[in-house]
Amino acid sequence: MNGKTQAAGLLRDQVAVVTGGGSGIGQATCLRLAREGARVVVVDLDPARAEETLKRLSEEGLPEALGIGANVAIEEDMAAMAQRAIDRFGRIDILVHCAGIIRATKGNPRMVAEMETREWDDVIGTNLRGTFLANRAVIPAMIRQRGGNIVNISSTSGRQGFAFAAAYCASKFGVMGFSESLAEEVRTFGIKVQVVCPGAVDTPLWQQNASISAPGHALPPERVADLIAYLVTLPPDAILQNVVIMPFKARRWKKRGGESPGTSEEHGKAGEDK
């Protein structure tokens, strides 16, 4: 992977695929990796949003990038995404998988007892099945290259369940399990699989919550993008495991489960971890 430490260009000539690259953490990551010299493949469900990121990249004069409108939950979309990336740039060195949702349509957090099967399927489909499909799509290229760097975005909700966010938490726990299994499988090919668990981040994801907005202390997405850049530029012999990044001002996070007397409004409701 990398090794040279120059002030800029730690990812020069590398090709990075970023899903969910049209907004939030994904968009910040596209910009951050491109500033390190990476050629970025911006993947988003909404081609217009991918285009928006491309525009910002070119405004900064960053390396050439490719925008792809694709749904991570659709097998053919992910296969085509990897193929187009290889056709254009010849290789895939990095996958940052950011695509994720709290719920499919804007609405209030729901109890499990009232959750429609459709909502469950949507969240698991995008967050968990999408992680599988996006990862699977890029791995053959990384195996051929005998190296690669995958960062999957989970959440503090991937380490602890929160009331009224059962589908989201289940999907993000699933991302942890999937990533750990994959890491063991592909390590022999020199492919790293790392996971980032962000707490509250100020992204459009919150708009999927009808009644809850981002807390005032939510982190700018650039903070998470900086961490991702650090992960993909670590020396070849080091990895960071399941790292959690959260606002300094956030209340206690019950990472080991169970009741905590200090727990507050903050994590009591769906989606408030993002």
Partner 1 sequence: MTEPRLQDQVAIVTGGSSGIGRAACVALAEEGARVVVVGRNPERIEETVNLMRARSKAKHDSFLGLRLDVRRGEDMTEMACRTLDAFGGIDILVASAGISLGTSSLSGRAAVVDLPVAAWDEIIETNLKGMFLCNRAVLPAMTARRRGEIVNVSSSLGTTAGWAYASAYCASKFGVMGLSEALAEEARSFGIRVQVLVPDAVDTPMLKRSHLAIFTALTPEEVARLIVRMVCAPEDLTLVDPLIAPFSEKPIPGRRNVFGK
- Which residues belong to the active site? 168
Closest distance of CB 192 from partner 1, Å: 6
Cβ atoms of 195 and 179 closer than 8 Å? yes
Q: What is d(CA 46, CA 204) in angstroms, rounded to the nearest whole number?
A: 13
User: Please, which residue, 82 or 191, has the CB nearer to partner 1?
Assistant: 191
Closest distance of CB 85 from partner 1, Å: 24
Cβ atoms of 99 and 45 closer than 8 Å? yes
User: Please, which residue, 59 or 265, has the CB nearer to partner 1?
Assistant: 265
User: Please, which residue, 115 or 145, has the CB nearer to partner 1?
Assistant: 145
* Amino acid making up residue 6: Q
User: Please, which residue, 129 or 192, has the CB nearer to partner 1?
Assistant: 192
Closest distance of CB 185 from partner 1, Å: 11
Q: Which has the closest alpha carbon to 227: 133, 154, 137, 157?
A: 154
79-88: list long-range contacts, CB under 8 Å, 24+ apart.
79/137, 81/17, 81/41, 81/43, 81/134, 81/137, 82/17, 82/137, 82/138, 82/140, 82/141, 84/41, 85/15, 85/17, 85/41, 85/138, 86/141, 88/41
Closest distance of CB 211 from partner 1, Å: 25
Q: Is 83 helix (H, G, I), strand (E, B) or coil?
A: helix
Token pair in block for residue 141 = 């290229």
Q: Is 73 helix (H, G, I), strand (E, B) or coil?
A: coil
User: Please, which residue, 49 or 192, has the CB nearer to partner 1?
Assistant: 192
The residues that touch partner 1, with contacts defined as CB under 8 A, are 7, 159, 180, 183-184, 187-190, 192, 217, 219-220, 223, 227, 230, 234-250, 252-253, 255, 262
